[in-house]
């Protein structure tokens, strides 16, 4: 087994782990929605989409065999994480300044018309307001935790990839 195969195997494992973590975060959000009664706002649903796309691209990337194809999916993961960070950042801002709430009336029809809202309405339909303050978890709101998660993906995926690939040279 070549050194490159071993190194790419490590990247594949990172991608699988990332995909599993993203699915677990969505599962946690569903738990909070269903069991704890915390209604998701339009920005929450958009963050779920970003997590789902990150997981999907991470799993597909882990199934690829060449360095170039893995890189393509790692780039897609980072792009989705940047989009998720933008949505989560706006959500954090909205929670600090509730007067600029996204408003369920403005974004609800757009988000509720996305495909997964029709297929899996419980997990992907809007039911709340972005400015609703829910109890913090370890001192941070859900939007702040989501922002941390997305920023970590944006930083760690390129960092781990470049460190892994430098070892191949």
Q: Between residues 22 and 130, which one has the greater pLDDT?
A: 22
Report the domain count for the chain.
Answer: 1
* CATH, residue 133: 1.20.1550.10
Give the model's pLDDT for residue 102. 59
Most confident of 31-35, 150-154, 156-160, 162-166: 150-154
Give the model's pLDDT for residue 162. 81
Q: Is the pLDDT of residue 159 over 90?
A: no
Q: Is the pLDDT of residue 152 over 90?
A: yes
pLDDT tens sequence across 35-83: 988 888 888 889 999 999 999 999 999 998 888 888 899 999 999 999 9
Question: Range of 141's domain?
Answer: 3-167
Exposed/middle/buried for 161, CB within 10 Å: 0-12, 13-18, 19+?
A: buried
> Which residue bears the tokens 């990172």?
14
Q: Would the pTM of this model clear 0.75, i.e. be above it?
A: yes
Give the model's pLDDT for residue 112. 79
Q: Is the pLDDT of residue 21 over 90?
A: yes
Give the model's pLDDT for residue 3. 54
Closest to 83 in 3D by CA, of 50, 44, 42: 50
pLDDT tens sequence across 101-131: 655 556 777 777 778 888 777 777 777 777 7
pLDDT band at 140 (very low <50, low <70, confident <90, very high): confident
Give the model's pLDDT for residue 85. 97
pLDDT tens sequence across 4-15: 555 678 788 999
């Amino acid at each position: 087994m070549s050194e490159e195969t071993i190194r790419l195997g490590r990247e594949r494992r990172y991608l699988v782990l990332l995909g599993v973590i993203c699915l677990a975060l969505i599962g946690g959000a569903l738990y909070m929605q269903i069991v704890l009664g915390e209604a998701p706002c339009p920005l929450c649903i958009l963050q779920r989409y970003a997590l789902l796309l990150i997981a999907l691209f991470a799993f597909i990337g882990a199934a690829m065999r060449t360095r170039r194809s893995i890189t393509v999916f790692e780039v897609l993961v980072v792009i989705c994480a940047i989009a998720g960070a933008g949505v989560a950042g706006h959500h954090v801002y909205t929670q600090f300044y509730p007067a600029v709430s996204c408003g369920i009336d403005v974004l609800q029809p757009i988000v509720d018309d996305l495909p997964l809202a029709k297929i899996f309405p419980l997990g992907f339909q809007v039911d709340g307001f972005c400015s609703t303050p829910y109890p913090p978890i370890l001192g941070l709101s859900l939007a702040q935790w989501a922002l941390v998660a997305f920023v970590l993906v944006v930083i760690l995926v390129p960092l781990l990839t470049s460190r892994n690939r430098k070892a191949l040279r």
